[in-house]
């Protein structure tokens, strides 16, 4: 295999922004991830349970949600929708995630269900449901007049994964519902309208329609509906999330099983405890640091095995030769330097592979690892102020104590400078690449 072919493949397989493309690449987490949610959904009487999955960016929430959805695909009618991805790629307005109203999220859930059902149960799915939703949605828009694009056409821009393959067919692993429509302009802005209370008659009419969509989907498929909603973890802080999960009961009252992401900041400032009706679960970083000596790169925690499995599964079918992609010692260094964050680990492997290609090598060597780690260190150090360094020093001195819940600390958590770990009572530690910056 030529260096170009090898490192092109590694570059693709270790994409830090893409969820694992193959089921075997979704490695079991050290703390069992969402296993407890799997167990709960095995109960036939759990018809409408609600679950919030909170975690920091890059911790692997999407991979865990996809694993959950695939596990349920043979038993439930499963829908998977990335709301933030839709705002970013279709609406081209990712900041709207912080302004969404509860009724808008419910309306998108209803539209995603219509998208999946119209694709998979075309002959049995009433088209009038989308028209009804469109009229009730239009009544809540700030602009005057009817939207020019039919809601059914807008639905074709949603990338929805659904567990049923064809009308009358059997359930299979998740597959995209229909072909995505191009050149369709959304004329229903999201998160940019005057606030409407849950008790507003227009909101009540729309929610009644969404309930009808979900109930009809269960009736047509003959299965329990599980809706997996990704992307709400991208909300910047806990205030917009509080608006969705605490100040409103619209999502909690949907007639479906709902598993949705939430920002980790909600747990940090304890507001997540107020999300009544939702069971809370957390996806955090792999405990690759030794809790007893987290600053010592020669001592690694149990999370190392996760990253060893990640590299093994993603390179299993590549002709790497007897020495593999890299020495075990270099893999350990990359795992420790990632702080246990799967996205940072992917970045490190990809960057080290690019450096190996530059030198026309067929494996990653120690100097490639050194340079990749230094690049990540410099990236994470950008924008660190004295107040941030003081917070990180305080956490380093007392990892077992929750850090102060202020805006600066929330930013450190959100941007991966401060990392939470799940082994034992939750503990925190600065990203290991930043430790040299914390020396007096």
pLDDT in tens, 333-366: 999 999 999 999 999 999 999 999 999 999 999 9
User: With b meaning 16 or more CB within 10 Å and e meaning fewer, what string describes 126-156?
Assistant: eeebbebbbebbbebbeeeeeeeeebbebbb
Lowest-pLDDT choice from 129-133, 163-167, 312-316: 163-167
Of 64, 98, 114, nearest to 284 (Cα)?
A: 64
Lowest-pLDDT choice from 82-91, 150-159, 248-257, 286-295: 150-159
Which three-class secondary structure state does DSSP give residue 278?
strand
What's the number of CA atoms in the CB half-sphere (13 Å) around residue 400? 6
Whole-structure pTM value? 0.91
**DSSP per residue over 355-410, as a string?**
HHHHTT-SSB-HHHHHHHHHHHHHHHHTT--HHHHHHHHHHHH-TTSPPP-SHHHH
pLDDT in tens, 71-116: 898 899 999 999 999 999 999 999 999 999 999 999 999 999 999 9
Cα–Cα dist 369/389, whole Å: 26
Cα–Cα dist 349/338, whole Å: 10
Q: Are strands 225-230 and 77-82 parallel, antiparallel or unpaired?
A: parallel
Which three-class secondary structure state does DSSP give residue 210?
helix
CB 72 within 8 A of CB 223: no
- Residue located via tokens 């000596």: 293
Ramachandran region of residue 145, left (φ > 0), alpha (ψ -120 to 50) or beta? left
Between 148 and 429, name the one with better pLDDT: 429
């Amino acid at each position: 295999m030529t260096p170009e072919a090898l490192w092109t493949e590694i570059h693709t397989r270790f994409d830090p922004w893409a969820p694992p493309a193959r089921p075997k690449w979704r490695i079991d987490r050290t703390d069992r991830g969402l296993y407890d949610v799997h167990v709960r959904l095995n109960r036939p009487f759990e018809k409408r349970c609600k679950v919030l999955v909170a975690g920091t960016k890059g911790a692997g929430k999407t991979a865990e949600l996809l694993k959950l959805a695939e596990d349920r695909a043979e038993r439930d009618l499963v829908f998977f929708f990335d709301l933030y991805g839709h705002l970013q790629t279709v609406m081209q307005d990712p900041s709207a995630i912080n302004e969404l109203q509860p009724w808008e999220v419910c309306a998108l859930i209803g539209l995603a269900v219509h998208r999946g059902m119209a694709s998979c149960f075309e002959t049995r799915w009433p088209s009038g449901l989308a028209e009804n939703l469109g009229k009730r949605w239009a009544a809540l828009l700030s602009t005057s007049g009817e939207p020019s694009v039919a809601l059914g056409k807008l639905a074709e821009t949603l990338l929805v994964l659904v567990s049923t393959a064809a009308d009358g067919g059997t359930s299979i692993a998740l597959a995209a519902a229909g072909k995505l429509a191009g050149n369709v302009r959304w004329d229903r802005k999201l998160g940019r309208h005057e606030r409407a209370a849950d008790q507003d008659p227009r909101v009540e009419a729309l929610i009644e329609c969404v309930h009808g969509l979900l109930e009809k989907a269960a009736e047509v498929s003959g299965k329990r509906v599980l809706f997996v909603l990704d992307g709400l973890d991208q909300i910047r802080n806990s205030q917009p999330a509080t608006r969705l999960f605490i100040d409103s009961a619209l999502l909690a009252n949907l007639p479906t099983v709902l598993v949705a992401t939430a920002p980790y900041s909600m747990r940090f400032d304890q507001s997540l405890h107020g999300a009544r009706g939702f069971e809370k679960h957390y996806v955090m970083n792999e405990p690759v640091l030794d809790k007893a000596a987290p600053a010592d790169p020669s001592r690694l925690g149990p999370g190392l095995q996760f990253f060893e499995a990640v590299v093994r599964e993603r390179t299993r079918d590549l002709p790497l030769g007897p020495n593999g992609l890299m020495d075990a010692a270099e893999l350990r260094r990359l795992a420790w330097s990632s702080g246990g964050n799967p996205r940072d680990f992917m970045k490190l492997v990809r960057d080290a592979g690019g450096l190996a290609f530059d030198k026309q090598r067929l494996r990653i060597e120690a100097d490639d690892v050194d340079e990749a780690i230094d690049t990540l260190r410099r990236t994470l150090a950008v924008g660190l102020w004295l107040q941030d360094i003081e917070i990180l020093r305080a956490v380093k001195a007392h990892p077992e104590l929750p850090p102060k819940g202020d805006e600066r600390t929330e930013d450190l958590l959100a941007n991966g400078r401060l990392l939470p770990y799940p082994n034992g009572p939750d503990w925190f530690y600065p990203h290991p690449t930043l430790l040299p910056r914390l020396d007096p």
